Structure 1
Amino acid sequence: MLKKVIGWLTIRNETIRQGLAEALSTFILMVIGQGSVAQVVIGKNSFGDFLSINLGFGLGVMLGIHVAGGISEALIDYTGGTLTVEGPTGTANIFATYPSPYMSTLGGFINEFITTAVLLIGILAINDLKNAGALPGTHALSVGLLVAVIGMSLGMNTGYAINPSRDLPPRIFTAVAGWGLEVFSASNNWWWVPVVAPMLGSLLGIFIYNIFIDFHNRPRLDGSRKPDCEGDESVEQRL
């Protein structure tokens, strides 16, 4: 009987299975990452700091990779029952990213653009078996540490969305959960930056890694090895 029930519940469509895995993976990332932000904001730095946020998202990414491969009463107490986007008790930044007050929209766009490019370069390097890729079984940890390091070095200016799915769905949630449409108009209509900049930045990261590393590190079509250094005589020259 148990086998029959398991058989009925088993999804064999590959696309649906991948979608469910990605959904659960993203859920784990959001719970751990945004939970770390909530503890810092609501706890007024008594239960963490900027480092703990970065570690939270880094470890959240790690666990999310392993998985794929509501609001507490404390929030109501902190805000006094009024959910605001900005100000001394603003809490919308728990869920989505907003730029620091000193950042312009253009400066924030460039920051997210470059940060995402760095992320993609790191991910490609970690998974490049032709290069010095990560050891088997350590890819999730390596990517998690990469995200944490990016947050510690480049996350202060914009909150480092570096992924549209990390920012837009939670922002939509806050819009319908009580924060209102100000989550889209705040910070000079910032909402589109963490959606567009990461997509373009990822293309830049892929381009840079391919141009500087990957294109020059592939096996030749004739099966010959690459020269050990620039001074080595090529196969064609020897022939």
Structure 2
Amino acid sequence: MSSPGSFDEKLSGNWWSRFRTTIREPFAEFLGTAILTLIGVGVNCQTTLSNNPNVANAPRGDWVTVALGWGTAAALGVWVSGGISGGHINPAVTLALATFRDFPWKKVPAYIISQLLGAIVGGALAYANYFHAIDIVEGGRNIRTLNTAGLFAMYPLGYMTDVSAFFSEILCTAVLMIGILAMIDKQHFGPPRGLAPLVIFMTFVAISVSLGMETGFGMNPARDLGPRMITSMVGYGKAVYDFRSQYWLWGQIIAPILGAQAGALVYDALIYTGKDSVINKSSFDTKPSVVVTGDSDV
């Protein structure tokens, strides 16, 4: 059987199937990230907005619901995209895999753009589904505050200093990256083929119930920036960017990227023995041994 993207497949089918074959990986990252964001933000909205008696007759969840919801969202996003693109659905993960696992740098821009577009679409769909409830909670159609903006993007708790918020996001993302690298390590005790979404689910839930309270466990620049852009366009304005001197940039883009790099560095320095890691390469190694794409065991 011909593999996806093979010469035979590119010559067969209609124009759309031929076009799709050339960019299946970015499409997979787009759809996986859209699902991650839609389900995750949807959980935030349902859990919080339902606390208002004018929205629902009883609350529809708590912090455990949020943890399970985001874990399921991540698992479903990886499930949808993993066999095609590797299921990164996170720019910080893509950059770490390019740095430490020979993921082709030439693919990085397309992956990150697709992830951001997916997060924008996911955030927009979640807002479209819940804007009536947001109107009720905010007290009117034209009233939008950071109280509900926090359903879509990350805003650390008030007592958190900038340094502690920055550290928390680095720590959460580092733990996530260690879990991902352990999962795809073929020389390690990895899960059976196809069970990667379950591992991602457990990793997300573990992080959220232990480290996630203070900053909301963003760990994903696209997941934060995409919905944040949507809120800025539907009435929340510049406040979503001005919060804590552009927290969106240093707290939700730079911190997760550094956290993923730190997690990969720790895992490779202490455990990983593969030659594709920059930690283990010698000056005589010239060819990559592993490329984390859709051919992985996700």
With structure 2 as the length reference, what TM-score do the two structures score?
Answer: 0.67
Question: Deviations along 1:68-104, whole A, 9 cap, x unmatched?
Answer: 1314322222222244333xxx200111011011101
Amino acid at match of 2:144: T
Amino acid at match of 1:17: R
CA contact (8 A) 1:130 1:217 kept: no
Tell me how far 1:38 sits from its aligned partner: 0.2
Amino acid at match of 2:66: I
Amino acid at match of 1:154: L
Amino acid at match of 1:9: W
Question: Deviations along 1:120-171, whole A, 9 cap, x unmatched?
Answer: 0011111112011112221111112211111111100100110101101111
Separation in 2, partners of 1:201, 1:108:
13
- Counterpart of 1:234 in structure 2 is none
User: What are the equivalent positions in structure 2 for 1:48-67 lying under 5 Å apart?
Assistant: 48-67=61-80
SS in 1 for 2:213: coil
- Counterpart of 1:18 in structure 2 is 25
SS in 1 for 2:190: coil
Amino acid at match of 2:26: G
Deviates more, 1:156-165 or 1:187-196: 187-196
- Counterpart of 1:29 in structure 2 is 36
Question: RMSD between aligned alpha carbons?
Answer: 2.2
Paired residue total: 212
- Counterpart of 1:41 in structure 2 is 48
- Counterpart of 1:165 in structure 2 is 222
The change in CA–CA distance for 1:83 and 1:129 in structure 2 (over 3 A counts) is farther
CA contact (8 A) 1:83 1:91 kept: no
Which of the two has higher C-alpha Rg? 1
With structure 1 as the length reference, what TM-score do the two structures score?
Answer: 0.82
- Counterpart of 1:211 in structure 2 is 269
CA contact (8 A) 1:115 1:154 kept: yes
Amino acid at match of 1:209: Y
Quick one: higher RCO (CA 8 Å, sep 6+), 1 or 2? 2
User: What are the equivalent positions in structure 2 for 1:186-205 lying under 5 Å apart?
Assistant: 186-192=243-249, 193-205=251-263
The change in CA–CA distance for 1:186 and 1:71 in structure 2 (over 3 A counts) is farther
User: What are the equivalent positions in structure 2 for 1:144-159 lying under 5 Å apart?
Assistant: 144-159=201-216
Tell me how far 1:13 sits from its aligned partner: 5.6
User: What are the equivalent positions in structure 2 for 1:119-138 lying under 5 Å apart?
Assistant: 119-138=176-195
The change in CA–CA distance for 1:117 and 1:14 in structure 2 (over 3 A counts) is farther
